Amino acid sequence: MTVKEIRNSSVILAIDDNPTNLKLLDRLLKAKGYRHVHLLSDSRKAVTAYCDLNPDLILLDINMPHFNGFEVMDALFSLEQKLMPPIIVISAQQSIESTLTALQKGARDYVTKPFEKNELLMRVQNLLDAHLAHKMLDNQAQVLEQMVEARTKELHSTRLSVVQRLGMAAEYKDEETGNHILRMSHISKFLAQKLGWSDYECELILHASPMHDIGKIGIPDSILLKPGPLDAQQWEIMKTHAQIGGELLAGDSSDLMIMARNIALCHHEKWDGSGYPNGLKQEAIPIEGRIAAIADVFDALTSVRPYKKAWSIAAAIDYIKEQSGHHFEPKLTEIFVQHIDEINHIKNKFQD
pLDDT digits (tens, 9 = 90+) for 264-315: 999 999 999 999 999 999 999 999 999 999 999 999 899 877 667 889 999 9
Mean pLDDT on 5-14:
88
* Least confident range of 79-83, 89-93, 242-246: 79-83
Mean pLDDT of the chain: 88
In this predicted model, which residue has the larger pLDDT, 274 or 132?
274
- The candidate with the shortest Cα–Cα distance to 314, out of 350, 344, 342, 289, is 344
| pLDDT of the residue at 159 | 65
3-144 against 174-349: fold identical: no
Measured distance between the N- and C-terminal CA atoms of the chain, rounded to whole angstroms: 60
How much of the chain exceeds pLDDT 90, in percent? 59
Mean pLDDT on 314-332:
95
CB distance 70 to 102 below 8 Å? yes
| pLDDT of the residue at 143 | 67
In sign, the C-alpha dihedral spanning 150, 189, 292, 273 is positive
Q: Alpha-carbon dihedral of residues 223, 225, 227, 229, nearest 10 degrees?
A: 30
| pLDDT of the residue at 273 | 95
How much of the chain exceeds pLDDT 70, in percent? 91
Catalytic residues: 216
Identify the CATH homologous superfamily for domain 174-349: Hypothetical protein af1432 (1.10.3210.10)
- Class for the domain spanning 3-144: alpha beta
- The candidate with the shortest Cα–Cα distance to 60, out of 86, 89, 39, 36, is 89
Question: Does the bond joining 114 to the residue before it have cis omega, within 30 degrees of 0?
Answer: yes
Q: In the chain, where are the structural domains located?
A: 3-144, 174-349
| pLDDT of the residue at 161 | 67
Say how far apart CA 35 and CA 55 lie, in whole Å: 13
CB distance 197 to 337 below 8 Å? no
In sign, the C-alpha dihedral spanning 95, 101, 103, 109 is negative
- The candidate with the shortest Cα–Cα distance to 94, out of 62, 130, 140, 134, is 62
pLDDT digits (tens, 9 = 90+) for 188-224: 999 999 999 999 899 889 988 988 988 888 888 888 8
Highest mean pLDDT, choosing among 36-50, 123-137, 306-320: 36-50
